[in-house]
Amino acid sequence: MSTQTAIIPDAKFLKQIDKKIKVNANLCYQCRKCSAGCPMSYAMDYTPAQLIHAIRLGLKDLVINSKTMWMCSSCQTCTTRCPQEVDIAKIMDTVKIIAVSEGIKPPVSSVHIFNKAALRNIKWFGRMYELGLIGDLKLRTFEFFKDMGLGVKMFLKGKLKIIPSLSLNRTLTTFNIFSRVSKKEKAESNN
Ligand code: SF4
Ligand code: SF4
């Protein structure tokens, strides 16, 4: 008896991405220039070109459970190289957002934890406060001694400020941006 499971394509997946960011992955003709230039493809389970192809085939489960977009460093090389002007980096971000909004546990949890900590940090200080970010990450990952030597080196070179640069005006502005984004996200999820 066969144990193979049928893969059911989600025909709406491509449209879901196109609607969100106005990027049409169907323009891809699989030249693989994106994958050839991607500095992170060695750590991905599917190369950028393969992920785009899977999106076109409607393989939503495969895509949103992939670690490819979590390994993407948003360097934009793929987007710059694409002869069809497919904004692959934007697709990577969007697929991450869709995966999280649909309750998928990120396969590379450290990246998700870092992203959330960085956003919290920017929201509260209006800019990156590195020492605060490190503290937040250590408390959430319990990796208290990871990269300790590097941290000490940065501190001695004056790259880590003990006291954050504070500005009420800046914090209010970033709070305002975060609140507008949150309203937009709620409105989108209700549609
Ligand atoms: S570079 Fe553009 S056209 Fe070529 S494979 Fe990547 S997404 Fe497709
Ligand atoms: S943006 Fe992401 S997918 Fe594109 S080349 Fe950079 S690391 Fe690779």
pLDDT of the residue at 4: 67
Tokens of 6: 């049928």
Q: Tell me which residues have their CB closer than 6 angstroms to ligand 2.
A: 37-40, 48, 72-78, 88-89, 92
Q: Is the CB of 32 under 6 A from ligand 1?
A: yes
Please check whether residue 86 is in contact with residue 55, taking contact to mean a CB–CB distance below 8 angstroms. Answer: no
The best mutation among 34, 35, 40, 69 to test binding of ligand 2, ranked by most ligand atoms within 8 Å of the C-beta, falls on: 40
Distance, CA of 48 to CA of 74 (rounded, Å): 12
pLDDT of the residue at 50: 97
pLDDT of the residue at 144: 87
Q: How far is the CA of 83 from the centre of ligand 1 (A)?
A: 7
pLDDT of the residue at 161: 86
pLDDT of the residue at 174: 93
Distance, CA of 30 to CA of 53 (rounded, Å): 8
Give the chain as a 3 state SS string: CCCCCCCCCCCCHHHHHHHHHCCCHHHCCCCCHHHHHCCCHHHCCCCHHHHHHHHHCCCHHHHHCCCHHHHCCCCCHHHHHCCCCCCHHHHHHHHHHHHHHCCCCCCCHHHHHHHHHHHHHHHHHCCCCHHHHHHHHHHHHCCCCCCHHHHHHHHHCCCCCCCCCCCHHHHHHHHHHHHHHHHHHHHHHHC
pLDDT of the residue at 10: 85
Which of the ligands is closest to the CA of residue 27?
Answer: 1
Residue-level pLDDT, tens digit, the chain, 191 residues: 556 666 677 889 999 999 889 999 999 999 999 999 999 999 999 999 999 999 999 999 999 999 999 999 999 999 999 999 999 999 999 999 999 999 999 999 899 999 999 999 999 998 889 999 999 999 888 888 888 898 889 889 988 888 888 889 999 999 999 999 999 888 877 76
Residue identifier of the C-alpha nearest atom 2 of ligand 1 = 82
pLDDT of the residue at 2: 53
pLDDT of the residue at 1: 52
Residue identifier of the C-alpha nearest atom 7 of ligand 1 = 28
Q: How far is the CA of 103 from the centre of ligand 1 (A)?
A: 29
Kindly list the structural domains of the chain, giving each domain's residue range(s) and its CATH number in brackets, ordered by start: 13-101 (1.10.1060.10), 109-184 (no CATH)
Residues 6+ apart with CB under 8 A from 9: 57, 58, 59, 60
Please check whether residue 141 is in contact with residue 113, taking contact to mean a CB–CB distance below 8 angstroms. Answer: yes
